Amino acid sequence: METSSMSKGVFVYRGKRSKGGRKSRSPNKSSPRKIRKTREEEGLGYSQETWYPAYKCVLMSLEDQVQNLYTDMFAQLLENVSVFLGRTSSTAINEIPTAVVLTGINLPDHAVIFEAVEKKLIDDISPHVVLLSSRTCSTARHLFGQILNKCQFGDSEMEIESAEDSDDIETPQLRKRATKCTFSEISLWYKNQGSDKPVIVVLTDFEAFTPSVVEDFIYLASEYKSEVPVALVFGVATTETTVHCALPHRIMSRLAMETFATKNSKDVLSHLINEVILSSKCLFRIGGTVFKMLTDIFLFYDFSIQSFLQKFKFCMLNHFAKRGVFAVYCKDDLTVDFMTSKDVAKSIVPKLKSFRLFVEQHRGQEKLDLLTNDDHIKETVIRLENELLDHFDYFLVGLKCLHEMTASLPQHPLGRQVSDLYFEAVSKKIWEMPEYLKCASLWKHLSGTELEEQLDRILLILEGASNELAGLNEWIADITIVNAKLKRIFTGQRSASCSPKKQNKAAELSGLSRTQLQQQLKELSKSSPVQNKFELVRNEALELVDKMFRSLLRPPREMPLHELMLFDDLELAKKELMGNSRLALNKALFNPHHYLKCKCCEQKYEEGISTSFPDVCISYHLHLEFMKHINLYDWLQSFNLIVERNAEEEEDSPVSTETQARFTQSIADMQFLGFIKPTSRKADHVLRLTWGNNCA
């Protein structure tokens, strides 16, 4: 049940598209079909599930925050590009103004960037902004066609067109009208439309464009410059040199380029994590291991914020699908409130391991109540959920403070980012980890000013969060006292430069004989070195901070009911998000029931090969038993044996032609999948290519 609706959810939802600039789409043309589609989507999707509104709410809040983040991030870049194009297109120069935007190699994110660029340019400079991708521009005339098309009809119709099903009658005509044209047609259109705003052409993936197409386009654009003012934006994923390599000199000399770089995508991710995902505003909490996996995929594989977010949303959907209505995400909206005590007791007590552990901690009547009294269970659950949510906010604040203390340490024992801390702290007691102990020993070597600065910064963080979290106030008070002490010492120390005590001691020692001196020194070495004032205060401060961390950073994963709030199913996430094609192939061939979910193969899996398996699976199973060279005749015989197992026939009957055909087909499939290959050494043999059995 769960899986079937899962697959629908993955394929049917298209995600929200933010459309900013184009509000003038013709409503009567697009609406009926759109409405029908959305209805279908809703019917097929999750929207009838009881937990769906909660999920939707969390998703919306996440998307809003991400959108805000993007807007902040791109603001500077967009401003620069827009200023450059505005300046150059207003003054008459011989060259075509060209903004080269270095976008980084994270290909899925480019769409977001260019959507923002398009919107900005439409608002600031000219209504004629054309986004082009290399897929639609195989020749120069296709490119012109695209430009004319988008300038004339705008984006909206193109989109509808591409969204339509292929059986639409109007579509071919619409497309035909504008697939190919010459530049003079563009110039004709420009003359007729009247305004003198430049046409801005944005090539989103410059690398993938055929250089000769771009060459021709630039050549003609500069030839027609007096009639049609053109400005270009190149989206370059690698470096500026790509443009220099792709275009010959006689074309380059027609451009006036300027380069603009987007932010480093690693910075963007850490920004995203700090501002959105690890903030109290984010209503979905992800477990440490899964979160680490997501960031690892980002750092090691793709550098793509978009796909990171997709995976994050996938985890979110999974969490809500698994926990259903009981998923805890927001204090104002505890679903348990609205449920009958019986339902709560029935669904929470037996299912959640953490709750059972919680019950075990109690004795006597309380334990009995927790097991049998439904009303009491409901009350406890509500209390625990509230505690959990509260604690998580404190936890995040504590994490930020700890990050403040550890980020500047040499060798970074606990990592450089807040997320590094989060991976560990969410499920373990971080103060028991050796890395934390190492940090604690390093703190003892902090100088006075460093400690003071760090305490100041911690205070800032705590005070920032204390409006909403009242529990922080006592920590603030304590730290302020220690900090004040520290400051007092420093001002005191500066006035009295050297301690008189030490001098006295030296004077005492100087008057003694050799043996007495020896005696004295021995005693001195035995007694612990006397701590000066600063060290005392430092130790006090560090103890206080340590105590604060122990209280704030209590791992949420060890609290009861944490399953309802944290998503920490690493196995599932790994299976779904780190696709491994070969493993999947082996698994499918070895145990087809895993994917087919058919009844026939279900029970027979333990027995080995079943007659009901697909042919290629039977062949695969048989080939595992052979050595390097496989005799095709033997293979066929054993294939026949299995296929005809049920048919009671005499033993030496010839293999039926139908079986032969099925066998040949399965062998061909095996060869296509790369398990066997024909060999010239023996005509009736094939070579086995894969070894080992890592799928079982």
Partner 1 sequence: MSASENMSIDPEEKCSEILQKLPGRHKQCRVLIDFFSTPSQIPASIFIHGNSATGKTLTVKTVLDGLKIKYVHLSCVEFDTPGLLAAKIASNLNGEYLQLSSSHNCSSLMELVENLQMASKIKNDPFVIVLDRAERLREMPSTVIPALLKLREISNMNVCVILISDLLWDRFYHGKMRFCKPLVNLFFPQYTKTECLEIIRSRKPEGVDDAFYCSYTSILLRVLYRFCRDLNELLYMANQHFVLVKKLSNDQRTIFLTLQPHLKAATQNVHLRQGIQQIQNVDQKAPNSSLISAVTAMELPYYAKFLLMAAFLASFNSPKHDRRLFAKHHGMQRKKAATSRKTVKRSSLIVGPKPFNFERLTAIFHSIADTPYLITTNLCAQLATLVNLHLITKVGFSGLNNPKFKCAVGLDFIKAVGRTVDFNVQSYIMEDF
Residue 388 beta carbon to partner 1: minimum distance, rounded to whole angstroms: 33
Instruction: Locate 367 and state its tokens.
Output: 């334990």
Distance CA 29, CA 39 (A): 18
Instruction: Annotate 634-665 with three-state secondary structure.
Output: HHHHHHHHHHCCCCCCCCCCCCCHHHHHHHHH
> Closest approach of Cβ 310 to partner 1, in Å?
12
* From 12, 44, 158, 252, residue interacting with partner 1 (rule: CB under 8 A): 252
Closest distance to partner 1 from the beta carbon of 577 (Å): 9
Q: Is 239 or 551 the residue whose CB approaches partner 1 more closely?
A: 239
Listed in sequence order, the residues at least 6 apart from 514 whose beta carbon sits closer than 8 Å to its beta carbon are none
Q: How far is CA 481 from CA 154, 454, 475, in A?
A: 65, 15, 10
- Phi then psi dihedrals of residue 323, to 5 deg: -90, -15
Q: Between 78 and 107, how does the x/- string for binding to partner 1 read (CB under 8 A)?
A: ---------------xxx------x-xx-x
For 424-455, b/e burial (b = at least 16 CB within 10 A) is: bbbbbebbeeebbeebbeebeebebeebbebb
Q: Is 265 in the site for partner 1 (CB under 8 A)?
A: yes
Q: What is the SS3 string spanning 8-54? A: HHHHHCCCCCCCCCCCCCCHHHHHHHHHHHHHHHHHHCCCCCCCHHH
DSSP bridge partners of 285:
566
Among 220, 348, 370, 414, binds partner 1 (CB under 8 A): 220
Smallest distance from partner 1 to CB 206, Å:
10
Considering the complex, state which of residue 183 and residue 422 has its C-beta at the smaller distance from partner 1.
183
Site for partner 1 contains 656 (CB under 8 A): no
Q: Which of residues 280-339 bind partner 1 (CB under 8 A)?
A: 297-303
Residue among 6, 257, 469, 655 that touches partner 1 (CB under 8 A): 257
Residue closer to partner 1 (CB basis): 184 or 516: 184
Cα 127 from chain centroid (whole Å): 34
Q: Give, as ranges, the residues between 553 and 582 that touch partner 1 (CB under 8 A).
A: 578-582
Q: Is residue 255 within the footprint of partner 1 (CB under 8 A)? A: yes
Strand ranges in 67-183 using DSSP code E only, listed in sequence order:
96-102, 129-132
For partner 1, which is the closer residue by CB, 140 or 277?
A: 140
- What crossing angle do the helices spanning 364-372 and 353-360 adopt, rounded to 10°? 150
Q: Which parts of 107-146 interact with partner 1 (CB under 8 A)?
A: 107, 140
With respect to partner 1, which residue has the nearer C-beta, 26 or 580? 580
349 binds partner 1 (CB under 8 A): no
CA–CA distance from 40 to each of 44, 73, 165, 354 (Å)? Answer: 6, 36, 15, 40
User: Applying CB under 8 A, which of residues 35, 208, 330, 509 lies at the interface with partner 1?
Assistant: 208
Q: How far is the CB of 416 from partner 1 (least distance, A)?
A: 16
Q: Return the number of the residue (104 or 145) whose C-beta is nearest partner 1.
A: 104
Q: Work out whether 541 is an interface residue with partner 1 (CB under 8 A).
A: no
CB of 246 to partner 1, least distance (A): 9
Determine the distance from the C-alpha atom of residue 295 to the mean position of all C-alpha atoms in its chain, rounded to a whole number. Answer: 7
Minimum gap (Å) between residue 580 Cβ and partner 1: 5
Task: Please check whether residue 582 is in contact with residue 334, taking contact to mean a CB–CB distance below 8 angstroms.
Answer: no
Which residues touch 643 (CB under 8 Å, ≥6 apart)?
611, 615, 618, 659, 662
Least separation in angstroms between residue 183's CB and partner 1 is 5
CA distance 164 to 377: 53
Considering the complex, state which of residue 161 and residue 207 has its C-beta at the smaller distance from partner 1. Answer: 207
Question: Which is closer to partner 1, CB of 86 or CB of 324?
Answer: 86
Interface residues with partner 1 (CB under 8 A) are 93-95, 102, 104-105, 107, 140, 182-184, 205, 207-208, 216, 219-220, 223, 237-242, 244, 249-250, 252-259, 261, 264-266, 297-303, 578-583, 672
